[in-house]
Structure 1
Amino acid sequence: MLSTLKKPAHLRRDLLASLVVFLVALPLCVGVAVASGVPAELGLVTGIVGGLVVGCLPGSSLQVSGPAAGLTVLVFEAVQEFGLGALGAVVLLSGLAQLAMGALRFGRFFRAITVAVVQGMLAGIGLVLIFGQLYTMAGVGQPRSGLGKIAGIPRLATEIASTGAVLTSFAVGAATIAVLVLWKRLPVKVQAVPAPLAAVALATAVTAAAGWSVPRVDVQGLLAAIQPPGLSDFAALGSLAAVGTVIAFALIASAESLFSAAAVDRMHDGPRTDFDKELMAQGAGNAICGVLGALPLTAVIVRSAANVQAGARTKLSRVLHGLWLVLFAALLPAAIGVIPLAALAGVLVHAGCKLIPVKDLLPLWRHHRGEALVLAATAIAIIVTNMFEGVLFGIALAVAKSAWETSHVHLDVHETTDGRFLVTLSGSATFLRLPRMLETLEALPSGHPVELDLSGLRHLDHACRTTLEGWAQLRGVTIEVPARP
């Protein structure tokens, strides 16, 4: 940090980048908190910890941490099931789990997760986020389950069309989305203002000038919102469901952070990320967020990309962005209370759309159809069940697909001139291919000598070896098998 002060050019770039990241982070911190069902100030607390704490720790140099849209659904479910007080306990335990994984050098293992599962996870999160925030845009309550949110859309549409107040609120959210979509088409000088900030500011100004009565953010005050977890909150986490939630927080936050780090590394030519140290930095940040009763944090690609694109050179930019959040929360807390909820919901609907890899779906289907099915199945599983179970299902499906694809065995049956049948197997023989192998072998005419050659197999698992040896013994077949390892 001190070496940065000796380089005025870097200092100027980092200062400007920190302001850009602050302006991007501000509406997202508030929006993610509101969508998660917690006080808006807790989103700012998490953003502050992401800047001032994680920003100073080793790991990645330019990626920025804070509350993420990708965890919104999981946080909302946790708050609904265990209560707001227990959220801090869940986040604290998740942070400690991340610290342990980093210390055990588990960071590199997250790079082994198939991209299809990650994209499916993000797509599932995005869809649940989109459908859920449509209700917030309209200012009405939303169903808890993903399927309930989707099934309730016709009723929501009817309510929007028939109720003036609901229509007004939904129009504010829709206009916010329109600003976000069209912002990139405006002159470059105008785009210097981050699109989320501009969209929320315009929605706030228009609703205030028009005098529209729309739901707005409820402001409690920063200190009042901070509620550290007590012993009773930890005691409430003794169920298997609570343990699963803690594991889900830790794994998903870690995966999102490390995938983000890999993406950010491709955006700049500075120091590369140390994945284990970054995992520990994220764990330390989440542990502190848990102590403060705040939202979980993770590295956020939107803020990180804004940081790199704004010309940041060192960690100073992300630390300063946390400082600006502190000053805003201290000096202008009432400013949050004038923001329409529909505008923040519009920002999150737009963010949810970005989580769905629309451009990758068709090429993936054309060239890797199995991966596309894993992606779709993971997303659907998240909608039907929940985040944790959906991701576990996706990983299990990816492992099963990989096992099936690598278990290729070829059977070549050749009848010799003396009436013998020579059966040669090559490839990888696993229990998954046993039905096909036995069907071929049992179809051989009885009364003819058979020679079974397994020497061409690259792999022969125990189930196949035992079954084939048993079949050969019953038929009196000569068998040549690879040597046991």
Structure 2
Amino acid sequence: MPWNSARVRAVLRTDLPASITVFLVAVPLCVGVSVASGAPAELGLVTGIVGGLVAGALPGSSLQVSGPAAGLTVLVHSAVTAYGLPALGMVVLTAGLVQVLLAVLRLGRWFRAVSAAVVEGMLTGIGIVLIASQSYVLLDRKAGGEALSNLVGIPAAAVRAVDTVAGGASLAVGAGVVAVLVLWKYVPRRLALLPGPLVAVVLAAAAVRLLDLPVATVRVDGLLDTLQPPGVEQLALLLRPEVWGTVLAFALIASAESLFSASAVDHMHAGPRTAYNRELLAQGVGNAVAGALGALPMTAVIVRSAANVQAGARTKAARILHGVWLLLFALVLPGLLDLVPLAALAGLLVHAGGKLIAPRARWRLWRSDRSEALVLLATAIGIVTTNLLEGVAIGLVAALAKTAWDVTHIRLHVEQSAAGTLVRVHGNATFVKLPTLVDRLEDVTPTGPVELDLSALTHLDAACRQALTAWADQHRRRGVAVTVTPEHELVEST
């Protein structure tokens, strides 16, 4: 669509206010994710800037917004711990190039084929690990190495924290942030126009400043001083097999999270749908640029994207402008970050971890589909007890096992009364389950006319069709009336 005065006015009326809203949501999240990842606060802002100005300008999804995501915090922290902060840029750059390759090969749509239970289990596991690590920051304590031991040790750490002035103050600030975020949806509509994360962090910073609380704050070195573009010496990292495991984990998880986010955002608006391969290309280019600057990896982030849609954005101008505002903030007002308490950012991320776990949604899944819920549970437990990559692999194996079970599973439900016998067959009737089917049919003793209901079958192969036909004919020869639903499934033999 060509630009004209009317279109410019429309953008100024809708996308400009939306971009400011997204910017206000993005600032505390960019900083919080970066600090939790073991990186300087400014690097999170750099990734947000690249997400707006680079990924945001490329075709794909017009309304979803990219930046550093809580879902990658655990993996980024592990990479920084294992290889050092200077190596992060090379890992992110290579992961971005892998994403570009996947887009060129037009594999974007295949990410939609990943079991939703595995993806939700991945998010649940990440949420648990995020809470396990950030709870210690909130308590002014240092976390241990393993997620499971961190999780188990939280109550004891909380008891020790409240015995000290610094620990109690830090806990109060973090808990206050969580409380504001939880209760923000109940505030009056006019007040709710302000982003909850920003309000929570500003209130926490004001409380620490006014009450002179002994709570640690963010350390700021300046945007240009923080950038660590990868050099030639980092190329040697790519000779290590374990680094490629991290690269592939970055690329695949970031791609899956971005494309699932795109699907969710598409359901929020009536505008153009996402072109998945183009969006994957945009994410890959964005990560390549972020990596070249030594910054954090990016994904499309559902919190910022939802804020963008709800604020009335109509075009990609909103997400590009949000990147402009982040750039101006990082260049002109970085000193404001010095006022932000680390406990406030930890509270922000503990709340984000709770939203990733989404207990209500998980309970609804358990009540509606236990097998899918078990796949989700296996993935989450695998991530918490091992690591992100192995946990996802465990989830994929569980999903394949569930699929194999569904393909071969068959059930017979028999209802008998004075009026007759109803036999319902559910599932997949294949030769693999033929012995089970025949055994169950032989156990049925009709008490009158028989109705054989096959409407719930998802598949019926020739071997099982022949067995069902033989069983029906056998009872007909005994003088028992047998009807089949649907009628075309079986043909009476002659």
Q: 1:5 to 1:251 in 2, by over 3 A?
A: farther
Which 5+ residue runs of structure 2 have no aligned equivalent? 413-427, 441-460, 466-494
User: Which letter does structure 1 place at the counterpart of 2:228?
Assistant: Q
* Corresponding residue number in structure 1 for 2:271: 270
In 2, the alpha carbon distance for the partners of 1:280 and 1:179 equals 37
* Corresponding residue number in structure 1 for 2:88: 87
In 2, the alpha carbon distance for the partners of 1:154 and 1:303 equals 32
User: Which letter does structure 1 place at the counterpart of 2:209?
Assistant: A
Give the ranges of 4+ consecutive aligned residues of structure 1 lying more than 3 Å apart after TM superposition.
408-411, 433-440
Q: Structure 1, residues 33-92: CA drift from partner, whole Å, max 9, x if none?
A: 000000000000000000000111000000000000000011001111111111111101
Q: 1:438 to 1:269 in 2, by over 3 A?
A: closer
Pairwise CA distance, 1:366: 2.3
Pairwise CA distance, 1:410: 8.7
* Corresponding residue number in structure 2 for 1:423: none
- 1:427 matched to 2:429: yes
Pairwise CA distance, 1:236: 2.4
CA contact (8 A) 2:434 2:463 kept: no
User: Which letter does structure 1 place at the counterpart of 2:201?
Assistant: V
* Corresponding residue number in structure 2 for 1:239: 240
In 1, the alpha carbon distance for the partners of 2:232 and 2:434 equals 54
In 2, the alpha carbon distance for the partners of 1:360 and 1:406 equals 26
Pairwise CA distance, 1:170: 1.1
1:278-357 to structure 2, matched below 5 A, reads: 278-357=279-358
- 1:142 matched to 2:149: no
In 2, the alpha carbon distance for the partners of 1:279 and 1:195 equals 30
* Corresponding residue number in structure 2 for 1:466: none
Pairwise CA distance, 1:9: 2.5
SS in 2 for 1:65: strand
Pairwise CA distance, 1:133: 0.6
In 2, the alpha carbon distance for the partners of 1:362 and 1:141 equals 32
In 1, the alpha carbon distance for the partners of 2:130 and 2:96 equals 24
Pairwise CA distance, 1:438: 13
How many residues are aligned here? Answer: 429
* Corresponding residue number in structure 1 for 2:463: 456
User: Which letter does structure 2 place at the counterpart of 1:3?
Assistant: W
* Corresponding residue number in structure 2 for 1:210: 211
* Corresponding residue number in structure 1 for 2:3: 3
* Corresponding residue number in structure 2 for 1:101: 102
Task: Name the TM-score, length of structure 2 as normaliser.
Answer: 0.83
In 1, the alpha carbon distance for the partners of 2:367 and 2:307 equals 33
In 2, the alpha carbon distance for the partners of 1:5 and 1:109 equals 40
CA contact (8 A) 1:86 1:233 kept: yes
In 1, the alpha carbon distance for the partners of 2:373 and 2:43 equals 37
In 2, the alpha carbon distance for the partners of 1:102 and 1:5 equals 35
- 1:38 matched to 2:39: yes
CA contact (8 A) 1:4 1:10 kept: no
* Corresponding residue number in structure 2 for 1:14: 15
Q: 1:155 to 1:98 in 2, by over 3 A?
A: same
In 2, the alpha carbon distance for the partners of 1:160 and 1:410 equals 55
In 2, the alpha carbon distance for the partners of 1:163 and 1:212 equals 12
* Corresponding residue number in structure 1 for 2:473: none
In 2, the alpha carbon distance for the partners of 1:246 and 1:287 equals 12
Q: 1:427 to 1:328 in 2, by over 3 A?
A: same
CA contact (8 A) 1:95 1:250 kept: yes
CA contact (8 A) 1:410 1:427 kept: no
* Corresponding residue number in structure 2 for 1:25: 26
In 1, the alpha carbon distance for the partners of 2:411 and 2:382 equals 34
CA contact (8 A) 1:46 1:297 kept: yes
In 1, the alpha carbon distance for the partners of 2:298 and 2:232 equals 23
SS in 2 for 1:189: helix
Q: 1:162 to 1:102 in 2, by over 3 A?
A: same
Q: Structure 1, residues 237-257: CA drift from partner, whole Å, max 9, x if none?
A: 433321111111001000000
CA contact (8 A) 1:86 1:229 kept: yes
Pairwise CA distance, 1:409: 6.5
Q: Structure 1, residues 115-143: CA drift from partner, whole Å, max 9, x if none?
A: 11111000000011011111011122111
User: Which letter does structure 2 place at the counterpart of 1:396?
Assistant: V
SS in 2 for 1:3: coil
User: Which letter does structure 2 place at the counterpart of 1:300?
Assistant: V
Q: 1:209 to 1:93 in 2, by over 3 A?
A: same
In 2, the alpha carbon distance for the partners of 1:285 and 1:97 equals 12
Q: Structure 1, residues 305-329: CA drift from partner, whole Å, max 9, x if none?
A: 0000000010100000000001001
Q: 1:434 to 1:162 in 2, by over 3 A?
A: farther
* Corresponding residue number in structure 1 for 2:176: 175
In 1, the alpha carbon distance for the partners of 2:15 and 2:380 equals 38
In 1, the alpha carbon distance for the partners of 2:366 and 2:5 equals 50
Pairwise CA distance, 1:153: 1.5
Pairwise CA distance, 1:218: 0.9
Pairwise CA distance, 1:344: 0.6
SS in 2 for 1:313: coil
Q: 1:211 to 1:99 in 2, by over 3 A?
A: same
SS in 2 for 1:105: coil
User: Which letter does structure 2 place at the counterpart of 1:184?
Assistant: K
In 2, the alpha carbon distance for the partners of 1:119 and 1:23 equals 27
Q: 1:124 to 1:434 in 2, by over 3 A?
A: farther
* Corresponding residue number in structure 2 for 1:472: none
Q: Structure 1, residues 95-114: CA drift from partner, whole Å, max 9, x if none?
A: 00000001111011011111
Q: Structure 1, residues 283-302: CA drift from partner, whole Å, max 9, x if none?
A: 00000011011000000000
In 2, the alpha carbon distance for the partners of 1:351 and 1:410 equals 42
Q: 1:436 to 1:163 in 2, by over 3 A?
A: farther
User: Which letter does structure 2 place at the counterpart of 1:428?
Assistant: T
In 1, the alpha carbon distance for the partners of 2:160 and 2:290 equals 38
Q: Structure 1, residues 403-450: CA drift from partner, whole Å, max 9, x if none?
A: 121024699xxxxxxxxxxxxxx93245xx69979999xxxxxxxxxx
SS in 2 for 1:329: helix
Which shows bigger deviation, 253-262 or 401-410?
401-410
CA contact (8 A) 2:140 2:161 kept: no
Pairwise CA distance, 1:234: 2.6
* Corresponding residue number in structure 2 for 1:478: none
CA contact (8 A) 2:139 2:158 kept: no
